[in-house]
Amino acid sequence: MTDDFDKNLELVDAVKNLSEGKKPFGLAGIFGKSAEKKSLESITIVSSAPSSEADWQYISSFITFRKKSQALILRWNALSNELSLPIFEVAPDNLSALHSAVHLYDEIIASNHLQHSIRQALSTIFIDWDIISAAPYDTDILAEIENVLKQHLKRHNLAESLTLKETLLNKLADYKGNISEKMTAFVTQNIGDPSLSDDELQADYQELLNELKRVNNLATDLQTVADVTQLIEDNGAPLWAKKLRYEPHNNSQDTLASDNWQQIWRIARLTSFIDSIDGRKELVQLAKTRGNLEVSLARLYQEAITKRAWLKVAENATPNVRASLEKYRSAIMRIGKGTGKGAHYYRREAREASAGASAAIPCWIMPHYRISESLPAEFGSFDLVIIDEASQSDLTALPAIMRAKKVLIVGDDKQVSPEASVSISKKFAI
């Protein structure tokens, strides 16, 4: 098959027709197409002419492969200018020439995998370092990473010194005192401080060693002080023991260990004994407890009175009375503002219900304008009527007065009457 065979569309269609069991050129091939026929006859498969549909299908697939190969080379060349890759001539047989480029591609893939592995390894070491996420790594980045790794390796090599430091701190933790605190501060703060030179560290350490030797020479005396002050603390004088331990003796006269310390000790013990047998604190506590109990008793009395009153109400509330109470409640809710069409009907229903429920309710609280519409019109139906804020009342309080056997007026005579704003002419008109 020639290189330009697949450029002739008639030959390509002819091969396709033969692969489908058709005539290669149709009716047009009866009298012409001699050149195309010769091209078809020149096609061989392993030095043999195709003799079946399967052979022509194989040839048709080969033509499709050649076209795809040319398209692949074209796309390769289009990208080569941007990626600095070799350019190949657009020919079907040049596909094998891409092997070297593919091998280079495999090496690039392997390099990317290696770089990815390096990035993952570095990510576990440097968690928050932004340079790790940069891709690809150039020479400067690799040099910086190498420098940092060397620093970390150097720090790792100092692990023995850090272990020694931790061991020293653990030993100092078991001791208390001024020199121990200074040694701990030196180990935790001074060692590793870049602002201090080696000579300064050595001088500070030598000074601490000298102080430690001085304290060690006084170990017997300090132990005596510790034992005596511990006995003093165990026998009931912890404040005195603390002062003897930590307050130095600077004056000629020792105020903490005076000559009469035994007398002072005896007086303190007697004072503690008198306080222990004195019952004043108990009396104060008992008085406080009594006050709390009296308050609680008063509250319980109020609760008992309230519950007894409601018990009497419940005893007087027969089923008829309870039905009247429910009927009264329903009627009052339906009255609302008293402007509805059925308000007069609900007022009458409330009055009728209150007549049956008044016996069970010892006390009624309502405004003046609700009395006539809610309670039955019976003279003296209440033992006592209390009119609160009487200075603000008017003739609407008359129905309440007419229903009372006794009246209690509660009000301030200095308050302004509700009729203060009514003119004299309106009063005469009324």
Q: What is the 3-state secondary structure (H, E, C) of 235-248?
A: CCCHHHHHHHHHCC
Write down the pLDDT at residue 410: 87
Q: Does residue 400 contact residue 368 with C-beta atoms inside 8 Å?
A: yes
Distance between CA atoms of residues 412 and 388, nearest Å: 10
Please report, in tens digits, the pLDDT of each residue of the chain (430 residues total): 566 666 666 676 777 767 766 766 665 555 556 666 666 766 777 767 776 778 777 777 777 777 777 787 777 777 777 766 777 776 666 666 666 777 777 888 888 888 888 888 877 777 777 777 776 777 888 888 888 888 888 877 777 777 888 888 888 888 777 888 888 888 888 887 888 888 888 888 899 889 888 888 888 888 888 888 898 888 888 888 888 888 777 776 777 777 778 888 888 888 888 877 777 778 888 899 999 999 999 999 999 988 887 787 777 677 777 777 778 778 778 877 666 777 777 777 777 777 666 666 777 788 887 787 767 778 888 889 998 888 888 888 888 899 889 999 887 666 655 554 445 455 444 4
Distance between CA atoms of residues 93 and 6, nearest Å: 13
Residues near 101 by beta carbon (within 8 Å), at least 6 away in sequence: 76, 85, 86
Write down the pLDDT at residue 63: 75
CA–CA distance from 213 to each of 206, 218, 256 (Å)? 11, 9, 28
Write down the pLDDT at residue 290: 93
Give the 3-state secondary structure of residue 384: strand
219: amino acid identity, one letter: A
Tokens of 139: 């020479």
Write down the pLDDT at residue 53: 75
Exposure string of 183-222, with b = 16+ CB inside 10 Å and e = fewer, is beebbeeeeeeeeeeeeeeeeeeeebeeeeeeeeeeeeee
Write down the pLDDT at residue 424: 46
Q: Does residue 324 contact residue 350 with C-beta atoms inside 8 Å?
A: no
